[in-house]
Structure formats: structure tokens, C-alpha cells
Amino acid sequence: MRSHLRPALVLFLLLTLLTGVFYPLTVTAVAQAIFPAQANGSFITVDGQTLGSELIAQPFDAPRYFWSRPSAAGYDASASSGSNLGTNNPALLEAVQARIAALQAAGPAVVEPVETQHPTPADLVTSSASGLDPHISVEAALYQVSRVAQARGLDEATVKALVAQSTEGRQFGFLGQPRVNVLKLNLALDRLQ
């Protein structure tokens, strides 16, 4: 029995040091050297004040700002999760209808004639899998242009141009869809005024 215990303990300690100390320290050091901003949370700081992270959604509900995708986690990064509600779940349907009503009550959504209007973009009324998605689709941003422009007293063309400037392309040129980081867009809006 003792002949098996000593090698097992030595192996346990060796693997603990290797996987519990050496590997995490190495990965942290490499991340800090190669991607320091991302390794430290990708915080956006203006005039010495941290306003948020470009990787985590921020709650916006004032009509003068573009709104983020709804969060099933209440915009709390420590509670990241989706709602886990199926497409036929009455609670999901009720939540989506309430979000559509809130968007409509906030102000004008689009400037197109009623017959050519697009439906409310899905990412404005459904939460993401993590509940903390910092991006919305370009369509979701354009859907909000009229409301934001009216609330700020800006020309819609100016706000649309800002959305175009804030649009991020596909990752690596082919992954995903073009998207808009809501926090960055709202900060750019604030800089306009």
C-alpha cells in the first residue's frame, strides 16, 4: 500500500503545481503581454473615469440613447445566462410583446412609410445566450435612429452616419454579421453634443 501512496502523492503534487500554478501563471503572462487591454477587461475610460467594458452590455433606457439587447441576466456579469425559455413558452412571448410595446412607446422607430417598414429586429426584443451581448445588429441600430435623433434634436442623417461609422465588420472578414457596439455608439453620440 505504501509503495503506491508515495508515487500517487508525488504525482498529485506535481500535477497540482503544473495545472494549478504554472499553467495559469503562464497563460496570464502571455495574455498580458500580447492582449493587455482584453486581458484587463477591455474597459472604456474617458477623462480618467471608467464607463464600462466594450465586452459586456450596459443598460440604456433613455430615449436619447441607443438601447442594448435585453439581458436575461439583468446586465450583471456575475449572473451571465440566457433565459432558457423555449419558443412556445408563454413567458417568452409575453416578454417579447412587452419589449415591443416599450420600443413603440419610447418614440418613433423608423422614418419609412408604413407599408415598407421592417418588423422590430429580433435582437431588440430577445435576450442573447449570455444575457450580456454588447452588440446589436446594424438593423437594430437603424431601427432606433429616429427616436434617438428626435430625442437629441439631431438630424437623422447625422445619426445614421454615426451608426455607419460605428459599424464593425465581420470578424476576420467572414465570421458573423456586421454589428454595432452600443456603448461605443452612445459615447460617440455624447461626443457629438
Q: Do 138 and 178 fall within a single domain?
A: yes
Q: Which domain holds residue 73?
A: 42-192
The number of distinct structural domains making up the chain is 2
Q: How many residues does the chain have?
A: 193
pLDDT tens per residue, range 79-89:
776 667 778 88
pLDDT tens per residue, range 5-58:
989 999 999 999 999 999 999 999 999 999 998 888 888 888 888 888 888 888
Q: Do 31 and 53 fall within a single domain?
A: no
Q: Do 136 and 178 fall within a single domain?
A: yes
Answer for the pair 135, 168: CB distance below 8 angstroms, yes or no.
yes
Q: Do 97 and 161 fall within a single domain?
A: yes
Q: Do 103 and 115 fall within a single domain?
A: yes
Residue type for position 68: S
Q: Do 69 and 28 fall within a single domain?
A: no
Q: Do 77 and 88 fall within a single domain?
A: yes
- Spatial distance between the Cα atoms of 75 and 51, rounded to a whole number of angstroms: 14
Instruction: Name which of 96, 83, 82, 70 is nearest 129 in CA terms.
Output: 82
Q: Do 94 and 64 fall within a single domain?
A: yes
